[in-house]
Structure 1
């Protein structure tokens, strides 16, 4: 099965389980793009029509269940001789694995699991569905902790069929109810009995009844009392043991009446006021109808005993003179005369009736003929053949489309060889109208999902719908062209439909032009199919290196632009504004320790930008670092000195200080004053040269 595809959509991936009647595979639903579980009926049962019929009916009933604790059934189908059920795929494990690895479970966890199982059974019973095979193997636990009950329906199909092989029941015999073991019809209370055994096993780690063979285990269900759970595991509260004992009563009448009643008990059994409640015992109201009763005896003289409950018939023989006498015996004489007379009369009547029937048949007899099989014949030939043998074709002739039978040929007839019919009997024929074609609706302007839905609603499989995407001025996701065209007729099962879908206008990402020359900016734009008009190049003073782009408009770097795009403007610096003051600043700094080597790094934040690295090199003795700082009326300069990535000093150089030192945009003069001593970090230097000694 692995690698095959069922119903054109369920691709079998791997086998994940199996039982006596079915195998379970993990599959992928290619239509809805999700994993599913596919249960496939074993080959030895596919020719048992009664079993298959019940299997499908019960599976369809289970599909009607909608409950958070029931594995959902999505689909039921048949492909060739393969009968299958498609169900929800649960990622996780089954309860049997948990019991093997962890039993006995904590009481609250076991009760929580049993509560969800009971809730699922209540929903199923309300829909008229009996599980009949509740056991840990059929309880799935998802990765999220959610309990899922599976195998609804197939258990009923198995027990309702004529299949009695040991393999069909051996896996479940430890969880049978007594009535199930006796072969009596199992109802809702049988499911509750099985749930009681599952709860028993979760809390004790053992099964209540074990034996050398399935028969011996079944007999123990019928005859032996279960070992009390608290005798096996004293940690079980009395309230929980009470639930198990009541659910596992051998008589169905003594168990919970409904799953809802058991669910209410499970939901409250761990409340403090119930944990140590009295032990549950069964008490019966009313008399036992099977008990032995003493009845009054009849007296031979026809009078009743005590109570006068029974009386002799007036015509019954009575005891007289030492013997029984029949009151009617005296009335009877010559007993054979009357029967002989009546027998003779009956013979005469039967003979007359027989001769009358024979005479009537000779008058009214209608001959019978064998109805010829004309399925697959052309209609005219079929009519001619039926009329040859004295039969009549019913009018009007029914028609229906067919993929397998040619146009105007007979698909089926209501009677055919070896059936017989009287002459002039009407025979009904169904004639093929050929393959049923569908008309493609106009799809242009619709969204892709709307168009695909419209086509699948016509019966066209999604596999036959091909989509192609291309750039277009129309909105993305809209159908811009279709083939076949609107109102064309197609065969929905074999013809394909192609939809051309818009990807929206073709766009390119806007290049980053900041810091580029005009020529470099034009080259980057031209590479993306964009153009830059000369009139859109604005040159003006700016706090940015001369000849470099410092701003682009209206598209920022990375914004989508449609070639050739809207007009793009760039702003190019012609140099610093007249108000700017440029100072060549000097910092003298040595290593952190005498004779050692340190890496010196100077970072400047000024009107030209923040945290620019002005200098960086390794020194073994004091050295002077010289660099330019630019200030503006609204932006002072901040100089940070780092020795081996440790911040040594923080200097603020103001616009006013730059003016006093003679710094301006044109001169770039350098004041030669030197600060001889180290200033604490954060204090402002008044001059344009500072000496930073080694060490901190």
Structure 2
């Protein structure tokens, strides 16, 4: 899509990222002269109106919830069936890229980064908004070391799609709190948990838990002990380790309750690191891990049982573990088993993943057969002219070749309509009807203004000359002006002299109702044919004065914006009253 212009406004400049739901690009907003981020909906989500509407609702709902640490979402728009999300552009790189290249980081850098993340999250949490997908892929690292959150609340739209949540899960799983993986709703405590994972990853260069798939990762988050980051670096202060552990607590009630609470402790830690002060550790909330052991102590040698012990056997046995805790453990275990079963069933029943083949340069019919063999559907997105590829050849493919998609997915293609130029046929000696047919066959038109000239060699009504000349290359749909023979009598001599006389034409054009600059081209058609008399880039509401010379007392002007014909104006020359009436008539 590089070089494409969406909605005659957003010029795609560079591809930034390729996620499971969006392909992300840097674009120039030609109306407001700024850079923006464009997230193009990928297939099959681009063909899911309910999901697109849900994303629009999220953008509208949170349009006022933006601060310095949050990248504003502007709107959802559509260009010829291609939906896309427009956001502010943050001058930086994805945090995931910075982690990959530079991690691990020093504690002071990690604390500063975490503070900038929490400042953005705190602004959301104060408004009752949950980000729901805090991860290195939704954070932009700025040149000054700060971070900005992207696409807050998008998770709310996932329920409107059958597959959006599923394809997004692998990227989210490493940062999802246990209660969310178990079916709970995202919460401020869940965002805090994700920040705890990020702090661990930034300072150690690795994730606290590793697994082969999202289900196994969810089980690790739910059951594995919270690791100490000091295992990977003894230089980590105890206070920092305790903050990370509290943020990653299994029980949401034992974590910081929102980003504001975490932010407060991080700022205290930052001051202590900066000025060398001692820091009192955060108050540790009661942990379920402090409960008494489940199994009683055992001994290899049993003492003889006394009468007291025998009597105690008959008394009701006191549970070492409270009943509610046992029931909770059973329910949680069943939930994990159910999650595993659901995952297995899903993977058995879902369509197989297939690789999109490289069909660029293939004929349309061959490309369609190749995709159908893989159980994929080909959809023609649009047709474009091409000076390199013949008509009905595939120019572009989305998703791009090599990407994995599910069987039954749609593959959008751009098809060549051939060269934008065509060769003008030879019309000399033809009748008007024959000339029209020849021109229509090559996507040209016959100009309604036809000259007449006496010719002793050619019968009246036949074409004796044309403009443009035969075999010349011209743009499609160009109007060809012809001159007809008036017969051998030469009665049209006076008409010929008028048609050959040169006159001055004046034209005023105001570029109204435009959102961005365009290439303005003005062509004139007179007794000598059609030619361009003005071509220049112009901005909205510019006023252009054109004075040109033409042959004959009447002429027609064609006005093009970016080579699209928007208006034709018939004018008379030599001071006719019609000239004044037509000035500015194109407004």
What's the TM-score once normalised by structure 2's chain length? 0.49
Structure exhibiting the larger radius of gyration computed from Cα positions: 1
Higher RCO, 1 vs 2 (CA within 8 Å, ≥6 residues apart): 2
What's the TM-score once normalised by structure 1's chain length? 0.41
Give 1 or 2: higher helix fraction.
2
